[in-house]
Amino acid sequence: MVEEDPRRRIPGTDTVLGHPEVRDAAHSLGEPVLQRIIHQAQSRARSRIISPEQVVPEVIAQLEGHRPSSLRPVINATGVVIHTNLGRAPLSPAARQAVVDAAGYVDVEMDLRTGRRSQRGAGARRALLNACGPAEDALIVNNGAAALALAAAALVGTGRVIISRGELVEIGAGFRLPDLIESTGAELMEVGTTNRTHLQDYASALEAVPQDERACILKVHPSNYRIAGFTSTVPTAELAGLAQRHRLPLVVDAGSGVLDPEPALPEEPDLRGALSDGADLVIASGDKLLGGPQAGLLLGSTDTITELKHHPLARAVRTDKLTLAALEATLTGGPPPVTTSLHADPEVLLLRARRVAEAVGVDVVAHDGRVGGGGGAEVPLPGWAVRLPESAAEPLRSHDPPVVTRTSGSWCLLDLRCVPESDDETVLQAVRSVLHDLHAAPSEEQV
pLDDT tens for 410-443 read 999 999 999 999 999 999 999 999 999 998 876 5
- On the question of pLDDT at 373 being above 90, the answer is no
Burial 96-126 (b: 16+ CB within 10 A, else e): eebbeebeeeeebeeeeeeeeeeeebebbbe
Local confidence band at 2 (pLDDT 50, 70, 90 cut-offs) = low
Taking Cα atoms as reference points, which of 272, 305, 261, 326 lies closest to residue 132? 272
Q: For the ranges 54-63, 341-350, 382-391, which has the lowest average pLDDT?
A: 54-63
Per residue in 225-267, pLDDT (tens digit) is 778 889 899 999 999 999 999 999 999 999 888 999 999 998 8
Cα torsion 75, 80, 82, 88: sign:
negative
- On the question of pLDDT at 388 being above 90, the answer is yes
Q: Which CATH class is domain 75-83+340-440?
A: alpha beta
Phi/psi at 386 (5° precision): -80, 125
- What pLDDT, on the 0 to 100 scale, is given for residue 316? 97
Q: For the ranges 48-57, 237-246, 363-372, which has the lowest average pLDDT?
A: 48-57
For 276, residues 6+ apart whose C-beta sits below 8 A from its C-beta are 134
Residue 41 CB coordination number (10 Å): 24
Look at 369 and 8; give whichever has higher pLDDT. 369
CB 421 within 8 A of CB 435: no
Q: What is the mean pLDDT of residues 141-148?
A: 96
Per residue in 175-221, pLDDT (tens digit) is 899 999 999 999 999 999 999 999 999 999 999 999 899 999 999 99
Q: How high does pLDDT run on average in the chain?
A: 93
pTM of the model: 0.88
- Separation of alpha carbons 52 and 29, rounded Å: 24
Alpha helices in 209-345 (DSSP H): 236-245, 271-276, 302-309, 313-316, 321-332, 337-342
CB 115 within 8 A of CB 268: no
Amino acid at 222: P
CB 362 within 8 A of CB 316: no
CATH 3.20.20.80 for domain 92-333, yes or no, is: no
**Tally of residues, the chain:** 447
- What pLDDT, on the 0 to 100 scale, is given for residue 186? 96
Helix (H) / strand (E) element for 382: namely strand 381-389
Sequence ranges of the domains in the chain: 6-65, 75-83+340-440, 92-333
Q: What is the DSSP code string of 401-433?
A: S-EE-EEETTEEEE--TTS-GGGHHHHHHHHHH
- What pLDDT, on the 0 to 100 scale, is given for residue 195? 93
